[in-house]
Amino acid sequence: MLTWLTMLIQKIEGSNIVIAILCAMWVLYLGFFLVVKANRTKKAMKTALITGAVLTEICDVVWFFKFFDNFQYINPGLGGVMWFCFLPVLMFLGVMILSYLNASRYEFDKKKREKEAAKAKKKEKRRKKFETEDAEN
C-alpha cells in the first residue's frame, strides 16, 4: 500500500492504471483459487485472502524500494515493467501452493469420512443383529 499511496499522492502518471491492474490481479487470483473444489471452504478462503494480502504487501515493499528513493519517484524506463510481473508470479505460485495443500487436506478428510461412515454402518449392522437376536429370545 505504501507504493500505491505514494503514487497517488505524488500524482504520478499511470498510477491509476497500476491500481486497476492490481485489482484485476486480485480478481484473477481469487478466480483461479475458486476453480479447485477443495478451495471452496470458509477456512481455505480465509487463508487465501490472508496469503494474497501478504504476497501483495511483499511485492509492494519490493516495488517501493525499486521505484522510490527518498520518497521521490525514479522512472526506471522500460526495464521497470519487469518488476510489475513480480506480483502475478507471486500470486500464481500462491494459488498453486494453497490449492495443493487444500486438495491434499480435502482428500485426507474425505478418506477419514469414508472410514467413519464404514464404521458407523458396521456398528448399525451389529446393532440390528443383536436386536433381532433379542426379539427371538
Whose cell is 516495488? That residue is 63
Q: 97 in a domain, yes or no?
A: yes
State which H helix or E strand residue 131 sits in.
Answer: helix 86-136
Instruction: Name the CA radius of gyration of the chain, rounded.
Output: 26
Give the pLDDT confidence score for residue 96 in this predicted structure: 94
Q: 120 in a domain, yes or no?
A: no
Kindly state the cell numbers that stand for 9.
Answer: 499522492
The whole domain housing 97 covers 2-109
What's the predicted TM-score (pTM) here? 0.73
Is residue 27 pLDDT above 70, yes or no? Answer: yes
Largest CA distance in the chain: 93
Q: 35 in a domain, yes or no?
A: yes
Number of domains in the chain: 1
Q: 70 in a domain, yes or no?
A: yes
pLDDT grade for 82, boundaries at 50, 70 and 90: confident
Q: 127 in a domain, yes or no?
A: no
Q: 117 in a domain, yes or no?
A: no
Q: 47 in a domain, yes or no?
A: yes
Is residue 1 pLDDT above 80, yes or no? Answer: no
Using DSSP's 3-state secondary structure scheme, residue 70 falls into coil
- Percent of the chain scoring above 70 in pLDDT: 99
Q: 21 in a domain, yes or no?
A: yes
Phi, psi of 11 (to 5 degrees): 50, 50
